[in-house]
Structure 1
Amino acid sequence: MRKLSVAIITFNEEKNILDCIHSVESFADEIIILDSFSTDKTKELASSISKVKFFENPFYGHVEQKNLAISHCKNEWILSLDADERADNVLQTEIINFLSNSEDESTQGFQIARLTYHLGRWIRHSGWYPQRRYRLFKKQSAKWVGENPHDFIEITDSKFGKTMKGNILHYSFSDFSHQLTTINQFSSIVAFSRFSKGQRFSLIKSILKPLGKFVEIYVFKFGFLDGIPGLYIALSSSFSTFLKYAKIYELEKGVIERPSNIRKDYGKK
């Protein structure tokens, strides 16, 4: 029987954390919560579950925080979730069956599809689905990498990876205003990170890249099949691309030293 740790990072997730925990509680041997000093009831609610081990650490970045959460896990196998995600019934059954079966020790990790609920419907196109990524993996064979906040798990030897049935259900935004707030924050993180690595403003790219992103999402990734939400996703993705260049311009011209909506501890480790 394999043992499983579930790793979740949090900040002010009182509305999500219990639903996330309950979706994995039946098969997890431990649930690691790494919080960045929430000011709401996240700690109180999460700590009320017996399987939860609660830790706190400043937030230096998504990649850094998720790798630190992994380091707190004691078991060989880890399922990594965000607080606004849940394992659906099919995925729960698949994971339980996998943990009960000790065969095929060569497997290093499993890619799992993520299905997002937005603007009153499940989004099945627009580049948002299936978005299969490694989420269930052996601790010693994987690490979080990527450009913050767009992180992903990298498996040491991906040829030993597999795909698992079921979905991670993603309740990313409470409404369109919430999406715009997230776009504003995430574009600041990307711009700040890229500028710190030497990227500079390009007028041509600031015009052409947003247009290209809209066509990519709405046409080539079939966003039009998601109805009005698909149109809004394409438009907001285009706007997000524009914001990244606009904020790099601010940084390059010395208008700001860092975007005002990035947490003070971000990127300081």
Structure 2
Amino acid sequence: MGHHWKQRNPESFKVSSQGSKKISVAIITFNEERNIKDCIESVLPFADEVVVLDSYSQDRTEDIAKSFPIVRFYQNPFYGHVEQKNKAIELCQNDWILSLDADERVDMDLKTEILRFQNTTLKEGTQGFEMARLTYHLGRWIKHSGWYPQRRYRLFLKQKAKWVGENPHDYIAIENPQAGQRMKGNILHYSFLDFSHQINTINQFSSIVAFARKEKGHSFSLTKSLLKPFGKFIEIYFFKLGFLDGIPGLFIALSSSFSTFLKYAKLYELDLKVIERPSNIRKDYGKK
């Protein structure tokens, strides 16, 4: 297991006050040399430590992450998104944790909110904070299509929250949903280099979903494979106002429909035992 930790000078990143809440930032990585530097730099004003849990990247991710004295770097096999993110939480030393993906950044408004949070008294019993995520895709910020505001808990008490959900569509759940609050500002999400990258991601994620569902005993349904993709397009383009995002909104609705179809097509393959697992899933995925 790789591990890197050096004491930093806290004054080099923020003006600290006695009794301020310390925050650990948890990030999981795999071949994220393009993103990891900007991600870490966006949290320096408030982070007490950054825990990077890598699944044996083959690029410069490790070197870039370790170049920051604030980073503690670990490596672990990738058994699934939920499993890996919860492992990253376990490695954090502070009570309050901000969980990010490597292709995410904290914008200025959210930084201001988090700095204020660190030095103010919280409502008693608060367990977590929801924040919006704004995605950049096909040359513009996507404000509709079900992609925004997509509020989720990302800043939370370590002992009161965990990652749950169906891989790879995970989310943070806090013990008491009544003990959550919201923060202003956005997590900026640079999800795809281009449309080809989005298609590659759809192909990979639909494989993960199909494999996870098969493991849970789900089977192929012809009716759902016909109706669900059509319903997904209608939902995103019309009900979630994708048409207001212009041509990118149309592409998002069509690609989401295609993604829904792929999940059922791959479940059909698994049902037939044509394959034991989709070929584009990492070998360590789903194993422990």
Normalising by structure 1, we get a TM-score of: 0.99
- Superposed, 1:1-269 pairs within 5 Å as 1-269=20-288
Identity of aligned residues (%): 72
What SS does structure 2 have at the residue aligned with 1:214?
helix
Q: Structure 1, residues 228-265: CA drift from partner, whole Å, max 9, x if none?
A: 00000000000000000000000000111100000000
Structure 1: unaligned runs, 5 residues or longer: none
- 1:64 corresponds to which letter in structure 2? E
Count of residues paired in the alignment = 269
What SS does structure 2 have at the residue aligned with 1:129?
coil
Q: Structure 1, residues 108-166: CA drift from partner, whole Å, max 9, x if none?
A: 10000000000000000000000000000000000000000000000001101001000
What SS does structure 2 have at the residue aligned with 1:102?
coil
Q: 2: distance between equivalents of 1:234 and 1:103?
A: 40
Q: 1: distance between equivalents of 2:224 and 2:170?
A: 23
Shift of 1:176: 0.1
What SS does structure 2 have at the residue aligned with 1:153?
strand
What SS does structure 2 have at the residue aligned with 1:23?
helix
What SS does structure 2 have at the residue aligned with 1:38?
coil
Q: Structure 1, residues 9-66: CA drift from partner, whole Å, max 9, x if none?
A: 0000000000000000121000000000000000000000010000000000000000
Q: 2: distance between equivalents of 1:68 and 1:254?
A: 32
Q: 1: distance between equivalents of 2:50 and 2:30?
A: 16
Q: 2: distance between equivalents of 1:103 and 1:27?
A: 17
Q: Structure 1, residues 200-252: CA drift from partner, whole Å, max 9, x if none?
A: 01111101000000000000000000000000000000000000000000000
Q: Structure 1, residues 158-178: CA drift from partner, whole Å, max 9, x if none?
A: 101001000000000000000
What SS does structure 2 have at the residue aligned with 1:127?
coil
What SS does structure 1 have at the residue aligned with 2:78?
coil
- 2:61 corresponds to which letter in structure 1? T
Mapped contact 1:2–1:102 kept (Cα < 8 A): no
Shift of 1:101: 1.2
Structure 2: unaligned runs, 5 residues or longer: 1-19
Q: 2: distance between equivalents of 1:46 and 1:114?
A: 23
